[in-house]
Structure 1
C-alpha cells in the first residue's frame, strides 16, 4: 500500500500590479511565471500546472501542483522564485494536499 504523500497546491490569481481587464497571461511579466514552471519541471518538483476553466477566464486563475520536500520550500518557491508573484502580477496561496490515492504516483524525490 502506498503511504500518503504531501503535495502543495499553488492557487494563482491576478495580483495587485496586474493590469485591470487584461488576463495575466496576456501581460509581459507572465513570461516570468512560465520560466518558474520550466525551472520546476527541470528540478522535478512540478507535478502539473494550468488555468482553471470553471472561473471567468478574464480572472486568470490557475493551479500549480508541486512535489516539494516541505511546506516551507513550497512557500519559498511560490513566493520568491516566481518573479511574476514577486512583482505582483500574480498573487499565490500555497496549501498542503495529502494525496492518499492516485493511479500512478511519481517517485518521491
Structure 2
C-alpha cells in the first residue's frame, strides 16, 4: 500500500487591508503574492495555486497547495514569506491535507 502524502492547503481570502469591491488581482500589492508563488515554484514546494470561482462567501478567495516539510514550515512560508499576507492584503488559513489516492502522482517516497 502506498503511504499517504501530506500536503498543505493555504486558503486565501481578502485581508483587512484589501480595498472592498476590488478583486485581489487588481489590488495594489497583489504582485507580492505572485512573487511568493514564483518562489515556491522555484524551490519545488508549489503543487498548484489559483482562485476559487464558485464560492458562496464572495469574490477573492483562492487556494495554494504546498509540499512543505511540515505544518510549521507551511505556516512560516504562508504567513511570513508572502508579503501580501504580512501586509494584510490577503488573510490565510493553513490546513494539512492527507492525500491517500491520486492516480496522477507517483507513490510518495
Same fold (TM over 0.5): yes
Checking the alignment, whether the CA contact within 8 Å between 1:22 and 1:58 is kept in structure 2 is no
What count of residue pairs does the alignment treat as equivalent? 109
Residue matched to 2:10: 10
- Mark the CA change 1:41 to 1:72 in structure 2 (over 3 Å): closer, same or farther: same
| TM-score relative to the length of structure 2 | 0.93
Moved over 3 A (4+): 106-109
Residue matched to 2:20: 20
| TM-score relative to the length of structure 1 | 0.93
Ranges in structure 2 where 5+ consecutive residues have no aligned partner = none
Distance 1:33 1:11 in 2: 13
1:53 paired with 2:53, answer yes
* CA-atom RMSD in angstroms: 1.9
Residue matched to 1:30: 30
Distance 2:106 2:73 in 1: 19
